Amino acid sequence: MGSTSDMPVMEKAMKWLNDNAIPFEVNALSAHRTPDAVEAFAKGAKARGIKVIIAGAGMAAALPGVIAASTTLPVIGVPIKGMLDGLDAMLSIIQMPPGIPVATVGVNGAQNAAILAAEMIALGDDEVAGKVEAWKAGLGQKIEKANKELAEVKYEFKCN
């Protein structure tokens, strides 16, 4: 993440990965204030066994692109709401030049970034694939439960 002020958003990714027992690193790196550290992180990530990088940043949101420029690993950008409701961050992340792709999730979509990263890892890891499949199966169960609860809500003109 660009700074620890991004923690409330990015911890949703950390929680999802942790809940699914998928190892991860957490770092505060600034594309503008610590560019050498960002480059060193990106260039050394593959050797440390990292498979996918999730980079959250707000405002100018250069971090995901700067990381992508220094690694061949997939990078997922999380635009963080700040100025302009996160539109500025989103546009900064999705407007990458040819050859430097960055996948982008919605504004403050850190949990989706974690799920997408796990899906990427799952292509070559059956254990992670099973965890993603099990988690996604649970999504339908939550909706079914919600519909049963909604069926009990009574209004005079409610038809179901």
Whether the Cβ atoms of residue 128 and residue 118 lie closer than 8 Å to each other? yes
Percentage of the chain beyond pLDDT 70 is 100
DSSP letter string over 117-147?
HHHHHHTT-HHHHHHHHHHHHHHHHHHHHHH
pLDDT tens-digit readout, 32-76: 999 999 999 999 999 999 999 999 999 889 999 999 999 999 999
**pTM (two decimals):** 0.90
pLDDT tens-digit readout, 117-156: 999 999 999 999 999 999 999 988 888 999 999 999 999 9
In the three-class reduction of DSSP (H, G, I as helix; E, B as strand; rest coil), residue 31 is classed as: coil
pLDDT tens-digit readout, 77-101: 999 998 889 999 999 999 999 999 9
The structural domains of the chain, with segments of one domain joined by +, span 4-125
Fold of 4-125: Rossmann fold (3.40.50)
